[in-house]
Amino acid sequence: MVSNILSRRREDREKWGDRLPPGQKVVDDWPVLTYGGTPRVDLKSWRLRLFGLVDKEVEFCWQEFTSLPTITVGCDVHCVTSWSRMDNVFEGVAFLELMKHVKPRPDATAVIAHCYGGYTTNVILSDLRRDNVLLAYKHDGKELAPEHGGPCRLVVPHLYFWKSAKWLRGLEFIPKDRPGFWEQYGYHIRGDPWKEERYS
Ligand SMILES: Nc1nc2c(c(=O)[nH]1)N[C@H]1C(S)=C(S)[C@@H](COP(=O)(O)O)O[C@H]1N2
Ligand SMILES: [Mo]
């Protein structure tokens, strides 16, 4: 059993090289990891609210949000429980594109992502201001499935996947980084898979 796992890890390492962060193993399916149930969000009532330390609060309905220019990002996702899913294609609105519609105040340094269902997670602004961070509503060419965060989820490819909040409903700009849901239960405040920032 143990030797099976170890040889599987060695094969992954040979196949994916530096793309696989330390301690991860590759899966071929796409596991669902949700704390609690899957919230069902009707597109008619769906809203995305950008609030907190911003010059002017903004709220998008689905029609407005999906009229914004989109980007397509290819990335690997790494769950802290040690599975990685390689070669995902996410499509949606770049965080930097959204920033054309809302101006964070100079004292904003971090964001709390708020979700339908109550989940939260924190990400510092410098981690969001990268050109491959997006609010995704398609995965591998299809609309994002409800269990994977549809209608819309955050995708922050360079951090552990718990930072990629599913069923996103708001981004709150805050003065100082503070723990979200899993971070309060001992997950690392930042969660860089390359540094194995799993738990604190
Ligand atoms: N709203 C919400 N977002 C969430 C979670 C959650 O429980 N609720 N789980 C996180 C965790 S721990 C992981 S690994 C990924 C899993 O995404 P997936 O179910 O699409 O694989 O979503 C993250 N985003
Ligand atoms: Mo996770």
pTM of the model: 0.97
Residue 119 lies in a domain: yes
Structure-block tokens of residue 22 = 């330390």
Whether ligand 1 lies within 6 angstroms of the CB of 145 is answered as no
- 5 pLDDT higher than 90: no
How many domains does the structure of the chain reveal? 1
CATH number at residue 100: 3.90.420.10
Structural domain of 67: 2-195
**Which chain residues have CB less than 5 Å from ligand 2, an ion?**
33, 79-80, 162
pLDDT digits 0-9 by tens, 117-168: 999 999 999 999 999 999 999 999 999 999 999 999 999 999 999 999 999 9
Is residue 200 a part of any domain in this protein? no
